[in-house]
Structure 1
Amino acid sequence: MSTTRTPAPYNPEPGTEYTYPLSDYARAAARSLGRGWDAESSYLGAWGLIFTTDDRVSLRLYVDGDDIGDLMIQDRHTGDEYLVPTERLPEGAPRTPDELREWGDAVALFVLSLGL
């Protein structure tokens, strides 16, 4: 008789693993960027748009499904893609409004660094 146990499959309750959809990250970034910036949600919040109200800049914030789940920004005018640095952010997805604001601030700083 084997004493090996099979672990139960990981099955978190809805909303406990990822409290905020990616569109919330985009909205937090637009708030951090300030006046002249806005954001929109995609279907089910799976990605978000960050854009200037004069349509000069339009960016899609998403997670790269082909790699290890990197946070990415795509310039919707040129198609250029950029890896958003997240090394200095807390481990794991944000779980509180303050943590979401921290992620939004980081995305906003990166957007500004692109000089678009």
Structure 2
Amino acid sequence: MSTTTHAVPEAPLFDEHGNYTPAPGTEYPFSISDTARATAQLLGRGWTAESGYWGVTGALTGPYTAEFEFVVDYQGDLTLAYTLCVADGFPDSPELPEGAKECGDGVYLELACAADGLDRLAERSAAAIRAVTGYDPDHFDFKSSASRQHYIDTGRYLRKGEAEKA
């Protein structure tokens, strides 16, 4: 007994009018919120990300009050938008990594595109956030109950030694 298989034809990339029409979910292999989540993984303990509506944005939070919003701006740039909070103690003049540029909303990743791949975009995003924040996980208290409660109350973890002063 032999089995005959028939290839399932792929959906055409162009419709009858010549318009590019890839099948839903096939044009981009990951979303902007996936990039935020992958960045949170690279930054490590104390960082988390949530999807915005439809996955077209991602919100990254960490041991600071500031939240980083991953968006694609009107020029097509992957932008990490944030609002400075004095309590966060970010560097006044951060030394941004190559390919990260300041903009009105925060920083953007110059020439970033989906073809770079999720891992590379997350690496670039994490490097930019480390520069903007001056982040060093060794400076934060992620363990004490006082620091965890402070995070619940304010959205910011205590730096090491702050719990004893309170």
Q: TM-score range by the shorter chain?
A: 0.7 to 0.9
Counterpart of 1:111 (choices 126, 129, 151) is 129
Output aligned runs, 1:1-116, within 5 Å. Answer: 8-52=18-62, 54-65=63-74, 68-77=75-84, 80-86=105-111, 92-94=113-115, 99-115=117-133
Q: Which structure has the larger Rg over C-alpha atoms?
A: 2
TM-score normalized by structure 1?
0.73
Rounded to whole Å, the distance in 2 between the matches of 1:27 and 1:103 is: 11
Return 17-26 or 74-83, whichever deviates more. Answer: 74-83
Instruction: Report the residue type matching 1:73 in the other structure.
Output: L
- Retained in 1: the 8 A contact 2:83–2:106? no
Pick the structure with more strand per residue: 1
Partner deviation per Cα, 1:5-40 (whole Å, 9 max, x = no partner): xx7111111122112111000000110111111101
Instruction: Report the residue type matching 1:105 in the other structure.
Output: E
Shift of the 94–31 alpha-carbon distance from structure 1 to 2, 3 Å rule, reads farther
Rounded to whole Å, the distance in 1 between the matches of 2:115 and 2:51 is: 18
Say which SS state the counterpart of residue 13 (structure 1) adopts.
coil
Say which SS state the counterpart of residue 114 (structure 1) adopts.
helix
Q: How many residues align?
A: 101
- Retained in 2: the 8 A contact 1:72–1:83? yes
Look up the match of 2:147: none
Rounded to whole Å, the distance in 2 between the matches of 1:57 and 1:30 is: 14
CA RMSD, aligned part only? Answer: 2.5
Say which SS state the counterpart of residue 133 (structure 2) adopts.
coil
TM-score normalized by structure 2?
0.53
